[in-house]
Chain A
Amino acid sequence: MRRFGGFLLASIVVGLVVWWLARPGDLSPATQTALAAHAADAEAGERIFWAAGCAGCHARPGIEATDPVEERLVLSGGRRLESPFGTFVAPNISTDTTHGIGGWELNDFARAMLHGVSPDSTHYYPAFPYTSYNRARLEDVADLWAFWQTLPADDTPSIGHELSFPFTLRGGLGVWKLLNLSDEYLLPEFPDAQVMRGRYLVEALGHCAECHTPRNLAGGLDASRWMGGAPNPSGEGRIPPIPDPRWSADDIEAYLFSGFTPSFDVVGGSMADVVVHMAQLPAADRAAIAAYLRALIE
């Protein structure tokens, strides 16, 4: 009986500790101070917007590669991301105060991107790649939010996710985050500024690994097979490993701008959107991404 009592007590303590650790986190006071201190620059934020690929999920479905790129600035949501856990439907994150995030403050936005937590302190699903964005620099988050203020409002209502039980319970996400969230970089520090810039663009903002790295059973990235290619979560085809060792850095750079592969096949699938985003960046950023990818295999 005493033994049982001890076990019960231990369980409660462990439960409380897990509950405490898994609760939705907030920005530290230091982070809030740093965000407030930065003189935000909307123009710099546009570069972050394209590097982070926000429109890839949050622009309306059905935008064609040939449509004007401005259409991707309307973040009305509605694109569907299929997964083994159900279908995630990207919400409206335009500046609409009712249906979007127009009522947010910078701290709300930073907390969402860096901690995956909503203003009302619930966990977001990691379909929103805060698992990568949590490496973003504070000044970039603040610049991005400044750029956001220049974007149009759209009053399309968000559609809820279509998930199966028990994945409908967001409380479990706190534990998931404990197990899977890390702000460490995969590629170690490297004495090459271009590769380091590429590392930031790929591992933090670009969140390339979210598709190109296979996942474990819990849905976390398997770092031991970094960029090793993965089944397409939609069930169709595969996401290829990157980089293709036959592609030079110039080949990668040209592909990210034009969509042409070295054999002049043309990009398709969801990567076509990524190429449109990448083409908006300064050439130096595409070169940095190429340098990083080559550094993975050299």
Chain B
Amino acid sequence: MSRSLIAAALAASLCLPGAAFANEANEAALKARQSLMSLIAYNLGPLAQMAQGRIDYDAEAAQAAADNLFNLTRHSQERLWPEGTAEGQIEGSAARPTIWENLDDFARRYGDLQTAAATMQGAAGDGLQSLQGALGGLGGACQACHQQYRVSD
């Protein structure tokens, strides 16, 4: 009886630091992916504002934002989505648990974003109309994934 108690306590003491470590790693992943999203949104900003006519079109600024978007979307997603980082599992997450049941589909949608960002990189500096033409696909790629895999906030 007491031996099994000791064994349990020992097992628990061995697990706890491991759990704390996993927690820290998960929090770092959450912070990293949300930071990446913020940077993507930050660079989407001037492109969308120009397309909506809220600021004047500026080819150089548009190209710079589109280049950034292209590079940001080259960041690999592999270490950004560890298990245990869904909404309800970790504070501040808006990721639906279904991501981890559909990793192939999730990756495909990120691939769509990469393609749309490449299209935007080729279009943003070529005039307002060209930018506007590429924005729909870019916004659509964001939305397609958010609709499926992000909880309402």
A residues neighboring B (CB under 8 Å): 64-66, 232, 236-240, 250, 254, 258-260, 263-273, 275
Contacts and interface: CB of A to CB of B under 8 A. Distances in A.
B45 A266 contact: no
B94 A237 contact: yes
Contacts of A272: 143, 146-147
Interface in B96-153: 96, 137, 139-153
Nearest to B44: A264
Given A264-B41, A264-B45, A65 B87 contact: no
Contacts of A273: 147
Q: Which of the four size classes fits the interface of chain B? A: 20 to 34
B42 interface: yes
B48 A66 contact: no
Given A66-B144, A232-B151, A258-B139, A265 B41 contact: yes
A221 B151 CA distance: 22
Nearest to B150: A268
Contacts of B54: 250, 254
B52 interface: yes
A268 B42 contact: no
B139 A266 contact: yes
Given A254-B52, A263-B45, A65 B144 contact: yes
B44 A65 contact: no
A238 B94 CA distance: 10
Contacts of B145: 268
B147 A64 contact: yes
A272 B151 CA distance: 11
A273 to B, nearest CB: 8
B147 A236 contact: no
B120 to A, nearest CB: 13
A259 B44 contact: no
B151 A258 contact: no
Contacts of A263: 41, 45
Contact of B144 (A64, A258, A264, A271): A64
Given A236-B151, A270-B147, 7 more contacts: A66-B140, A66-B143, A236-B87, A236-B88, A258-B139, A264-B41, A269-B151
B133 to A, nearest CB: 14
Contacts of A270: 147, 152
A239 B144 contact: no
Nearest to A65: B143
A237 B91 CA distance: 11
A258 B52 contact: yes
Contacts of B48: 258, 260, 264
Of A232, A260, A265, A267, chain B has the most CB atoms within 10 Å of the CB of A260
Nearest to B143: A65
A236 B152 contact: yes
Contact of B147 (A238, A258, A269): A269
Nearest to B140: A66
21 contacts: A64-B147, A64-B148, A65-B143, A65-B144, A66-B143, A236-B88, A236-B151, A237-B87, A237-B152, A259-B139, A260-B48, A260-B139, A263-B41, A264-B41, A264-B42, A265-B37, A266-B143, A268-B149, A268-B152, A269-B146, A271-B152
